[in-house]
Amino acid sequence: MTNNIFGTTRILGIFGDPVAHSLSPLMQNAALREAGIDAVYLPFHVLPDNLPQAVAALRPLNILGVNVTVPHKEAVLTLLDEVDENARLIGAVNTIVNRAGCLHGFNTDGAGFVQSLAGDLDFDPAGRRVLLLGAGGACRAALVALAQSGAAWIGVANRDPARARLLVDSFSSRFPGTAFAHLPLASSLWEQALGASDLVVNTTSLGLHGEEVPLPWACVPKKCCIYDMVYRRGGTPLWHAARAQGHPVADGLGMLAAQGERAFTLWTGRKPPFGVMKSRLLAELADN
């Protein structure tokens, strides 16, 4: 059932390319209905060349706000009137709020990730050792959020060692309380880092289409938590492998819901009804 549309209904949405696969409309509209807010959340397929016009149109169309997803999170920064300090640090915006024609950019991904760690794994990063797989935008958001949460050590492992080194070098001086390392995959340093980690996070897209994320499980302590930012119906290969090995494990569904809850609050000034977004996501994946 869709939201009722009136002359007073405000519009929210998501800009992406592609965007048809997005589950954000399902969870956001469920929360808007439950909260009794006169708004509707819509998907907008925005090609990269059309991003400046799409962002500019938020003002005359009086659109309340939008989420921004791949491939626009970095490009949108220069198109906004104001960008939150945390979003600028991460180098990406995933939420735009239209305040009387002034467009404000935020990033709720990192905070949503840490919230999911707490809710899905009962994991507090403070004083812990975390190994991140990948070196893209999702890794940047996770790294910043983990460092801000007091992680003692953060390692970045990537197929391209130079990219991992560049990421680590760009943040090490900003967070002197956290030790950083960049690691080549399939090396003795990589195996040693796994053996000392409290949490391993897949920040890549591997697993979305059933790809394996190869981990030398013999090197991973049983107490080590595994977090896969990817989610798919039936679970990702990494999720299944971690469960089979007896590790605490969670996928990215909790992060999707948590970042969406924070965006909801930025747009409406209200907290969404507790648990509605994640419940709607779980129901959708169970039904398909």
Which two structure tokens, joined as six digits, stand for 152? 């003692």
State yes or no: is 223 an active-site residue.
Answer: no
199 is in an annotated binding site: no
**CA–CA separation, 275 and 278 (whole Å):** 6
Asked whether residue 252 is marked as a ligand-binding residue, the answer is yes
Tell me: is residue 53 an annotated ligand-binding position.
Answer: no
DSSP run (H or E) holding 158: strand 153-158
Residues facing 43 on adjacent strands: 14
Tell me whether residue 50 is annotated as binding: no
Antiparallel, parallel or unpaired: β 179-184 and 65-68: unpaired
Q: Which of 73, 222, 271, 278 is catalytic?
A: 73
For residue 138, say whether it is annotated as part of any ligand binding site. yes
Q: Is 69 annotated as a binding residue?
A: yes
7 annotated among ligand-binding-site residues = no
Instruction: Give the pairing type, strands 65-68 and 95-99.
Output: antiparallel
135 labelled binding-site residue: yes
Closest of 12, 13, 16 to residue 70, by C-alpha? 16
Question: Number of helices and strands (H, E) in the chain?
Answer: 10, 12
Known binding-site positions for shikimate = 22-24, 69, 94, 109, 231, 259
Known binding-site positions for NADP(+) = 85, 134-138, 229, 252
Active site residues: 73
Known binding-site positions = 22-24, 69, 85, 94, 109, 134-138, 229, 231, 252, 259
